[in-house]
């Protein structure tokens, strides 16, 4: 897809907040084993009963280097890493170095947004509040009726707290506060991830700020001019 955009004479711009997907695009995927659903379900049960820190300790025993790269609260990545180590009988960090096909033919310009932390959290809180105000609980109730509470998407941010609200485990205010906290924690993990990425040009603001947009545009133009001179 990236190559097709370039072939049409356009500049490929990838936007998003999922660092693992970006790394997969730029560095390629390692040849990991297939999904092992029975093992995954057991690990999910352990996480539910003992907490994600228990999975993190397991991964640290299997592959310390991988455990240092994956946050102790990131249950899905911990489960996949443990699955890879057990199924392949190799360390995940060793597999990361095998057979990955990196993106070629491009010079990568990484631009990251680094707004004021409190301003970011205020936006996150308002967004979570709008989710509840615009029918998140009602939507979740319909999904529960159609797919049951075992549907994986219902464990995602916001939906998880809406499920707890519908079950009577949380009040509406508690569900909102829990959703806001979960989103803030996720944003913090994203920033931690991207801080480890090499050669990121950080801009101190939000993407809807015209000044930040001009700064990003200038960075892109400077990079393109360097390519032209090269």
pLDDT tens-digit map of 1-13: 777 887 888 888 8
Q: How confident is the model at residue 150 (pLDDT cuts 50, 70, 90)?
A: confident
Average pLDDT over residues 205-213: 96
Q: What is the DSSP letter of 35?
A: P
Is the pLDDT at 154 greater than 80? The verdict is yes
pTM: 0.71
DSSP string, 152-180: GGGGSTTHHHHHHHHTTSS-HHHHHHHHH
Asked if 24 contacts 80 with a C-beta cutoff of 8 angstroms, the reply is no
* Whole-number pLDDT of residue 11: 82
Asked if 115 contacts 206 with a C-beta cutoff of 8 angstroms, the reply is yes
Q: In this predicted model, what pLDDT tens digit does every residue of 56-111 receive, in sequence order?
A: 999 999 999 989 989 888 888 899 999 989 988 888 887 776 656 778 888 889 99
- Domains defined along the chain, listed by start: 2-107 (1.10.20.140), 108-230 (1.10.287.890)
Neighbouring residues of 34: CB distance < 8 A, sequence distance ≥ 6: 87
């Amino acid at each position: 897809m990236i190559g097709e955009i370039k072939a049409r004479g356009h500049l490929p711009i990838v936007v998003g907040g999922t660092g693992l997907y970006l790394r997969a695009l730029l560095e390629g995927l390692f040849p990991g084993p297939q999904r092992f659903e029975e093992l995954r379900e057991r690990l999910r049960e352990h996480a539910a009963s003992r907490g994600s820190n228990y999975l993190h300790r397991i991964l640290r025993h299997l592959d310390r280097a991988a455990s240092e790269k994956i946050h102790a609260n990131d249950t899905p990545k911990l489960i996949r890493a443990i699955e890879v180590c057990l199924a392949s009988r190799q360390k995940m960090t060793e597999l990361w170095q095998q057979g990955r096909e990196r993106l070629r033919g491009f010079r990568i310009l990484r631009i990251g947004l680094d707004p004021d932390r409190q301003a970011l959290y205020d936006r996150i809180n308002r967004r979570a509040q709008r989710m509840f105000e615009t029918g998140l609980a009602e939507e979740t109730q319909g999904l529960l009726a159609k797919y049951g509470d075992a549907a994986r998407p219902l464990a995602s941010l916001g939906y998880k707290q809406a499920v707890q609200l519908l079950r009577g485990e949380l009040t509406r205010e508690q569900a909102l506060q829990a959703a806001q906290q979960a989103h803030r924690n996720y944003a913090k993990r994203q920033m931690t991830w991207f801080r480890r990425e090499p050669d990121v040009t950080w801009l101190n603001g939000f993407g809807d700020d015209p000044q930040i947009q001009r700064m990003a545009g200038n960075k892109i133009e400077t990079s393109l001019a360097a390519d032209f001179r090269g």
